[in-house]
Structure 1
């Protein structure tokens, strides 16, 4: 590895870790405005995400590629449909997460993001006809068993956890179908649901500035900042993903739910019973198996390539 590659790897790791740290700490942000209805927070998040991303696109002079991708979207019905569904799924994910934090369900939210990789794999099997290895199958079964354990022990179905995992998993599925630039994607997804957000806020507050809770300066700042806290981690993640191996990204993705879990248990004093410990342990074992299996799959092409190269050398 030369000096340039080492530098790229270093900045890739810093960017990736920063993204997951910010995602993990987001409950602290939403907790500061949990006095505002979750639906209104979501509406503001959509509106200010679009404004923030549009500003970034203009500052970086990416408006040309943005317009080109928008035109391509309207010409391709499959792409257009995928982006519409992606915007609906990510808006649903944002709402469930904001609601979870406001209603002291951060531990459940962390569970949702722990099982998200396994749910995504399952969606790939169902919709993309992908195949599971034996180890991945066991990992999915362990996650399913953990959800059943929590359901029967508490008598309550973990709606928040599965809602977050499914909405983000389906969002990822749509992103596989709709291959589009990250900045363009976030801006478009926000734009498509922006009219609904604006109509909702107008129905609640009319044309009044009360929609921004101007009587509370901190709330105004936090609502305006909702766009930045949405977009910045995503931009950092994209920068990191381009510079570091996918296998490393796989390990880093567990930083965020781990931080959420610690915040939920130790800061917000949410219940974490013996049943939770058993269920989370089952999921952690499943995730270790899943991650190891993915790592082996990513390594296989390199091994095969090396074997082919050796065979060719011997033949020559």
Structure 2
């Protein structure tokens, strides 16, 4: 096993979160393609690319372990449906002028993970974590009060990703084999949609250029690249330290939404962001203090 290299870990971690943060630039190129169809291509090309990668990054015995423990296949089927739902909603939000809501959702995500740990894993929250979650809840309630309805995009995105992470945390399957199996379990549904879905008889898709098809094929490696960078970074950095980098992605999405795609950040939404940011600052301080104590 190679020794940890923090500098390499930071570079890999930064690469993962910057790529995730710049995803809107890629998916905006596919704005003419309906979100379900983008998801179908993302699943199919990720499945193919993942299978090719497994030929180079060996994970000895992963398939034998799955055969010996078939319940893990059912778990991966569930996690696959969750991540597919997350991908679908994210692409839809990006291409329908809801990037600010998507950004807010991924700011909420780490605080939601803390809450899920409390409710489902029996973890105990430290006082600062309670305060951080309270600030996030205040931001959500403020949006409900102002808009008169739940900010559903900002809640469904972290919920699907949070439960996905929770399932994968409990499933003893390595990251790349797990993702490959998830996409292969989704592949029959994706193929059925591609062959028999509403777009199968849509003349509009037949008029796509060759470059559009290349962009759709590219969703496979674009999906897998940051995941591989992230998992490689996790081998060189403490997980808590890597967690500090996670705010890069929603910050880039926020900046793109405001300064590239012209989504307005109204005062009421800014107040919700401020509540979430304060909660994240408190959460980060708590992680830093706990890291120092553990050392």
Q: TM-score, normalised by structure 1?
A: 0.87
* Partner SS state of residue 21, structure 1: helix
Tell me the number of residue pairs that the alignment of Structure 1 and Structure 2 aligns: 293
Assess, with a 3 A threshold, how the Cα gap between structure 1 residues 225 and 149 changes in structure 2: closer, same or farther.
Answer: same
**Structure 1, residues 253-276: CA drift from partner, whole Å, max 9, x if none?**
000000000011111111201112
Deviation at 1:211, TM superposition (A): 9.8
Whether the aligned pair in 1 keeps the contact of 2:66 and 2:73 (CA below 8 Å) is no
**Residues 43 and 197, structure 1, Cα contact 8 Å, conserved in 2:** yes
* 1:144 partnered with 2:141: no
Which residue, out of 37, 46, 64, partners 1:68? Answer: 64
In 1: Cα distance, 2:58 partner to 2:208 partner: 37
**Aligned to 1:203, which of 196, 200, 203?**
196
Paired residues of 1:138 and 1:286 also in contact (CA < 8 A): yes
CA offsets 1:176-211 (integer angstroms, 9 cap, x no match) = 110211110110111111111110111137989989
Distance verdict in 2 for CA 1:168–1:261, change over 3 Å:
same
Matches of 2:199 and 2:103 in 1, distance apart?
36
* Alignment match, 1:311: none
2:35 equivalent to 1:38:
yes
Shift of 1:71: 1.7
Flag the structure with larger Rg.
1
1:223 maps to 2:220: no
Alignment partner of 1:19 out of 16, 19, 36: 16
Partner secondary structure for residue 186 of structure 1? helix
Using the alignment, how far apart are the partners of 2:223 and 2:125 within structure 1? 32
Residue by residue, what CA displacement relative to the aligned partner does 1:255-304 show, whole Å, maximum 9, x if unpaired? 000000001111111120111221111111100111211222233333xx
- Does the 8 Å contact 1:265/1:272 carry over to 2? yes
Q: 2:41–2:219: 8 Å Cα contact kept in structure 1?
A: yes
Output aligned runs, 1:295-314, within 5 Å: 295-302=288-295
96, 100, 103: which one aligns with 1:107: 100
Structure 2 unaligned runs (5+)?
none
Q: Offset of 1:145 from its aligned partner?
A: 1.1
User: Which among 264, 275, 279 is matched to residue 286 of structure 1?
Assistant: 279
Give matches, 1:244-283, under 5 Å. 244-283=237-276
SS of equivalent to 1:253: helix
Structure 2 CA distance for aligned equivalents of residues 180 and 220 of structure 1 = 32
Instruction: Using the TM superposition, give the Cα deviation of residue 26 of structure 1 relative to its aligned residue in structure 2, in angstroms.
Output: 0.2
The structure with higher relative contact order (CA 8 Å, sep 6+) is 2
RMSD, aligned α-carbons? 2.0
Cα contact 1:212–1:220 (8 A) shared by 2: no
Instruction: List runs of 5+ in structure 1 lacking aligned partners.
Output: 303-316
Task: Please give the alpha-carbon distance, in whole angstroms, between the structure 2 residues aligned to 1:37 and 1:138.
Answer: 40
Give distance in 2, aligned partners of 1:83 and 1:69.
13
CA contact (8 A) 1:213 1:220 kept: no
Asked if structure 2 preserves the Cα contact closer than 8 Å seen for 1:52 and 1:228, the reply is yes
For residues 230-269 of structure 1, give each alpha carbon's deviation from its aligned partner in whole angstroms, at most 9, with x where no partner exists: 0000000001111012232111000000000001111111
Q: Does 1:155 align with 2:148?
A: yes
The residue aligned with 2:44 is: 47
2:6 to 4, 9, 12: 9
